[in-house]
Each structure stands twice: as structure tokens, then as C-alpha cells.
Amino acid sequence: MKILNKDLKAGVVKIAVENFDDLWYLSHVIVPGDVVKAKTERRLKGKDDMERAGKSERVTVTVSIKVEKAEFKLDNDTFRISGVIEQAPEDVVSMGSHHTFNVEKGTILSIKKDRWRSFDLERLGDAERSTARPKLLIAVIDEGEACIGLVRESKIEEYDLSKLIGGKYDTKGRQERKEQFYHELSDFISQTVGKENVSAIIIAGAGFEKENFHKYIVEHDQKTAALSVVENIGSHGRSGISEVMKRSKARNIGEEVNAARDIKFVARLLEEIGKDSGLAVYGMTDVGNAASAGAVEFLLVCDDYFIKERDIIEPVMQSVKSSKGVVHLVNSAGDAGKQLTGLGCMAAVLRYKTK
């Protein structure tokens, strides 16, 4: 994200969407009652058009809407903002009619609020900083199969590649098929590195295929090899990606990436719960009491729960921040988010016991 202009006296911030992660950040900021302005396409109907069986022309206009609904769908990276039109060219658009912005990469928005809360400005700042933050790519390799995880801010984007290699007794052409699989996998990784700001690649697996593939890229793709390290794990596929994320190499490389922090924070929470240390609390009441006492080291809140109960949760977040604690929104769609949802969508690790 790029913040193009900020006029807090007028209550307006203008931003440019630069990647799909920005949509996730915006879903925490834009709420019903805000006024959002952007360029959009509307259908222009004239007398001659109506006479030709309803045919019409589409024109680009600037429209302001008062937001009624903002909906982010992580599975297909879409963010839709719907509301009532407050300002637009009257010869094209009827005032008071409804319109929906489909926000995507390249969209420029002006967001007007009656009052910008500190959390909203922090989320926009996080989004702007995240654009320059390097990403981590994980490849879990088995014979003829690979699961790729691109660790983004909003989620871990997963891809599966496979090729029929044949069993160990099917020797005819087997090595050639393996070489072809390595070539296709190397190309996919190289293209992803080229499109995304990837600073490190972890090649992992339970058997010897990870070493075999690493040897292949050392010989055929030095640029990818230079970013790569090898990690031995005991699981396969998407479970392997989760295992890698809990290892020290991944934690060190992707420490600042939001999706990696989800896993790190929730793992620490579950560790304290498992030890029955008294340093983990969950649920609104217990977390709120711990925050009021200034005991919270870090607070975790599912992002969908925050959006629904923002007015209740924000005072708790402010209490944590005022006592120098860390507040972190967890993506509810990820594995860490599902674990946190099972604990009531809100939890905290404490500096000291409160009971």
C-alpha cells in the first residue's frame, strides 16, 4: 500500500492498493458510515440507447459512497465496498442509488471518517511497511510431488505440483521424469520469486528428495539456489509447511511477516496453556481483566471477531498498548486463527499471573 495523502483535519486519507495483502489490511479499516471515493465504471443510458433494445455505454466516473457493507473474501482475494452514492456526476448517476466498488491491485481510494482512530492509522502504516517486507517461500518436496507455501501478510498461499515418476522398479525413463519434475518445480519457484519480494526459500521434506532437488537448482538455477536453505522435517504436503513454520529457520527469516507471527504467537499461547502456567487467558472477561491490570504481554484477536465486535474490543486493545503490551490481529482463516477461534477468538499471554 502507498499512502498518497493524509488530511486528518478533513478526515480524509488517500491510498493506492499495491498488492492483495492491502485488501486484508483495508478490511480492518473501512467500516459502515465511512465515505469512500474512487473511480469506477457506470452504465450510461441515453434515449437512443434505450431504443436499441436496452444497449448502453459504460463510462468511467468518480463516485463517493457512504459505506453500508465492506466484505473481504480471503479465498479469492476480493474486497467489495457497498453503499449509497453521495456524490457523482448527476447526468450519469442517480443520487441515492447503490453502488459497489470492487477493490483490486491498482485501485486508488479516498477514505473519509468522522474520526480516525489510532488503530486505523496504525493498520494503514503496517500495510505501507509490509509492501517492502520480504516474503518467505517454503517448498515441501516428495517423489514427484511438491507443496509450495508463499508466506504473505494475510495468509500462506499454497500451491501443489505433481508428476507421475513411477515406482522404484519402474526404472525406464524414471530419472528423466524426475529431471523434468525438478525443471518444472524450479521454473515455478523462479517465477514466484520474480513476481514477489521473496528473500528466502526453505526446501524441506522427510526423505532425500529435498537434497536431490537442492542439488538440481545449484546446478541449473544459481539465483534460486542462493536464496535456499534445506530443512529436514517429518511430515509431508501442507502439514509439512506448518511444521516448517514452527522451526527456528522459518521464525528467524519470516519474523516480521504477519502470517508467520500468527503461528508464532498462537504457538506460544498454546504452550502456556499446555504447561498450565497461569500465564495464558482467553475469552473476553478474563482477557479484559488482565488488560485492566496491565498484565498482558501480548493480546491476540481473530480479525473477523474484531470486525464484528470492534467497539467492545478496542478499549481492551488500548489498555494493552498503554501498558506497553503487543496487540496482534490473527487471520481467522489460517490454522492459527482456527485454533484461536476455538478459544473464543480472543486470548493473551501474561507477564505475570493475575490469579
Superfamily of structural domain 2-130 = Pelota, domain A (2.30.30.870)
65-97 pLDDT, tens digit each: 999 999 998 777 789 999 999 998 877 778 888
What angle do the packed helices 118-130 and 20-27 form, to 10 degrees?
A: 170
Is residue 13 within 8 Å of residue 26, measured between CB atoms?
A: no
The sheet carrying 280-282 orders its strands as 280-282, 346-350, 296-302, 326-330
> 229-249: per-residue pLDDT in tens?
999 999 999 999 999 998 877
Q: Are strands 198-205 and 228-232 parallel, antiparallel or unpaired?
A: parallel
Bridge partners (DSSP) listed for residue 328: 300
Using alpha carbons only, how large is the chain's radius of gyration in Å? 24
Where helices occur in 221-257 by DSSP H, the ranges are 222-226, 237-245, 248-253
Residue 49 DSSP one-character state: H
Average pLDDT over every residue of 262-270:
94
Amino acid letter at 310?
R
Whether the predicted model's global pTM rises above the 0.85 cut? no
Q: Please write the tens of the pLDDT for every residue from 297-341.
A: 999 999 999 999 999 999 999 999 999 999 999 999 888 999 999
Q: Which amino acid is at 340?
A: L
Residue with cell 529431471: 179
What is the residue extent of each domain of the chain? 2-130, 135-253, 265-350
Evaluate whether 13 touches 6 at the Cβ level (below 8 Å). Answer: yes
Q: For 135-253, CATH number?
A: 3.30.420.60
CATH topology of domain 265-350: 60s Ribosomal Protein L30; Chain: A; (3.30.1330)
Specify the DSSP element, H or E, that contains 185.
Answer: helix 174-195
Helix, strand, coil share (%) of the chain residues, nearest 5 = 35, 30, 30
Q: Give tens-digit pLDDT for 204-224.
A: 999 899 999 999 999 999 999
Instruction: Give pLDDT tens digits for 35-57.
Output: 999 999 877 655 454 444 455 67
Mean pLDDT of the chain: 90
Residues 188 and 67: their CA atoms lie apart, in Å, by: 40
DSSP-derived secondary structure letter, 30: -
* Residue whose C-alpha is closest to residue 138's, from 222, 217, 207, 210: 210
Answer yes or no: same fold for 2-130 and 265-350.
no
pLDDT at residue 59 tops 60: yes
